[in-house]
Amino acid sequence: MTQAELSRLSGLSRASVFNIVRDLTDEGLARVTTTTRNGRRVTEVTLNPDAGIVVGVDIGNRHVRVAVADLAHQVLAEQRVALPLGHRADEAIGRSVGLVRRLVRQADRDPDQLRAAAIGIPGPILAGAGRLGTPPVLPGWADVEVGAAFSDQLGVRAVVDNDANLGALAESAWGRGRGIRDFAYLKVSTGIGAGLVLNGQLYRGAYGTAGEIGHTTIEEDGAVCRCGNRGCLETMAAAPALLELLRAAYGTLTLEDLLRLSADGDIGCRRVIADAGRHIGVAVANLCNLLNPGLIIVGGELAAAGDLLLNSIRESMARRAMSAAERTADVVTGAFAERTAVLGAVALALQNADASDAQTNVPAVRTSSPKAELAG
């Protein structure tokens, strides 16, 4: 952008913008060039891609995905590797750090350019602690200081957040939530979580555990959940619950099998996905009545079911939410599929690349599309 455009969009005076840009260029974070627009000479400002790199890490039940990006928000290298179900924390952290180092070399960058790392983990993250709260989706991770472990091995500041929160960050920065001040991102997979953007900022709650929509009660006398309560949404709509419903008739299936059979028209598989959507719609209706978001973005592995899942959510919302709240909350699939959490981790790392404190409760970013995503 030109300095005049930055002044207009930020609401700052041209003199203030000039001083800020001068400081950024002195620090090597920005570049300025003189060009001509409509016959007039103007000064354009761009981020400096050579100023440093950040790393985003997404750790799940069966995978780790790592992305390396520069400070101009371009993804330079990215890879996903499989992890065994029930993996140990030290095993996943070791694989992740090894992958980070390999991708930094692949991107032809000096490891000394690394400025920050961000790690996404399924489950509630205790604010300021950098570790999982309860109930942990990943067994054996509850007392692991994830941020400290990555920081010690990578030699940079490492922040940790819930994968649903990171999904909301990615969608806010570059996806379907861009420009939306109030929305919810739902990750529907092995667990079910929500990332909440309220008044343009990611909302984590007093202790970092906001958005645990998977543990809202749907059936008071339902099955016992891993959190100790009965009838939680996860016991009725998360992937393990759906696969268990099909076990007697289909034998052992994977989530990939369920989605494939559903896409091929299998009645039983389509029925359990539609039922899951109706249960999710109950929880989302309550969310709409409480917070009145303008958009519901559905991500996670089950989002691949498409309209079969989304239409069931919409129908359930229409029956249970207040009419004004339901009418204003459109339901859409996310923009980045399986890349959402790692791109959110990149966004969080970018926010923390020059931060001097260890707080992770930072606002959702508003920025341009990651160039690697535009390239497919």
In this model, does residue 372 exceed pLDDT 60? no
**pTM (2 d.p.):** 0.88
Q: Domains of the chain, with CATH numbers?
A: 3-47 (no CATH), 52-167+338-374 (3.30.420.40), 177-334 (3.30.420.40)
Four-CA torsion 350, 147, 214, 319, nearest 10 degrees: -20
User: CB neighbours of 249 closer than 8 A, spacing ≥ 6?
Assistant: 268
- Enter the DSSP assignment of 112: G
CA distances, 136 to each of 20, 222, 227, 242 (Å): 43, 21, 9, 20
In this model, does residue 111 exceed pLDDT 60? yes
- The 10s digit of each residue's pLDDT in 246-293 is 999 999 999 999 999 999 999 999 999 999 999 999 999 999 999 999
Token readout for 365 is: 């970013």
Measure the N-to-C terminal CA separation of the chain; round to a whole number of Å. 25
pLDDT of res. 207 = 84
- R_g of the chain computed on alpha carbons: 22
- The 10s digit of each residue's pLDDT in 280-332 is 999 999 999 999 999 999 999 999 999 999 999 999 999 999 988 888 899 99
Residue among 333, 336, 346, 325 at smallest CA distance from 307: 333
Token readout for 72 is: 């101009």
- The 10s digit of each residue's pLDDT in 55-86 is 999 999 889 999 999 999 999 999 999 998 88
Chain centroid, CA 181 distance in Å: 16
Q: What is the mean pLDDT of residues 351-361?
A: 55
Say how far apart CA 64 and CA 305 lie, in whole Å: 23
pLDDT of res. 189 = 94
Q: Which residue has the higher pLDDT, 187 or 42?
A: 187
Residue 273 contacts residue 305 (beta carbons within 8 Å): yes
In this model, does residue 184 exceed pLDDT 80? yes
pLDDT of res. 135 = 59
Q: Which residue has the higher pLDDT, 118 or 135?
A: 118
Say how far apart CA 120 and CA 122 lie, in whole Å: 7
Chain centroid, CA 189 distance in Å: 13
Q: What are residue 199's phi and psi, to 5 degrees?
A: 55, 40
